Amino acid sequence: MARIVVADDDIDIRELVEFKLSSLGHDVTVVGDGAAALEACRAERPDLCVLDVMMPGVSGLDAIRLIREDDALRDLPVILLTARAQQADVATGLDSGADDYITKPFSPRELAARVEALLAR
């Protein structure tokens, strides 16, 4: 079982991701924006973080940059889960420090497989 922080401003996406990852036995904390994700990561020291890119306030890209600048969180695996699907968006996401990039709409089964693969590293 892993501790996972999920940040998305869409409650339906948060609930879907939480349900899927919880059903795999993970302890999932869900939040609605990047600032709350950063706060949860600092407080809980999760094993993985799943971030939406487009969120109010602190975006997922801003959050991942702050995570990578924090000595205690620098090695935290991060998956970006976003509707931004252009090649330039994917490149920006990976260049910002994401370990994986999943576009919406997404398959919960694929998300689960990628989460498990990243946690296995």
CATH number at residue 45: 3.40.50.2300
Residue 121, pLDDT above cutoff 90: no
As a whole number, mean pLDDT of residues 100-111 equals: 95
Residue 79 lies in a domain: yes
- Supply the pTM of this predicted model: 0.95
Amino acid at 115: V
> Looking at the domain assignment, is residue 120 inside a domain?
no
Residue 64 has pLDDT above 90, yes or no: yes
Residue 88 belongs to a domain: yes
What is the average per-residue pLDDT within 14-23? 97
Distances (CA, A) of 43 to 13, 90, 105: 23, 29, 30
- Is residue 38 included in any domain, yes or no? yes
Reported as a pLDDT band with limits 50, 70 and 90, residue 86 is: confident
Q: Does the residue 80 lie in any domain?
A: yes
> Would the CA dihedral through 105, 111, 113, 114 be positive or negative?
positive
Domain that holds residue 65: 3-115
Residue 49: is its pLDDT beyond 90? yes
> Given this model, what pLDDT does residue 84 score?
84
Tokens representing 116? 């498990």
Residues 6+ positions from 55 with CB-CB distance below 8 Å: 7, 8, 9, 32, 33, 34
Instruction: Please check whether residue 121 lies inside any domain of the structure.
Output: no
Q: Please give the helix or strand (H or E) that residue 16 lies within, else none.
A: helix 11-23
User: Which H or E run contains 60?
Assistant: helix 60-69
Q: Sign of dihedral through CA atoms 4, 64, 84, 99?
A: negative
Q: Is 78 within 8 Å of 103 (Cβ atoms)?
A: no
Number of domains in the chain: 1
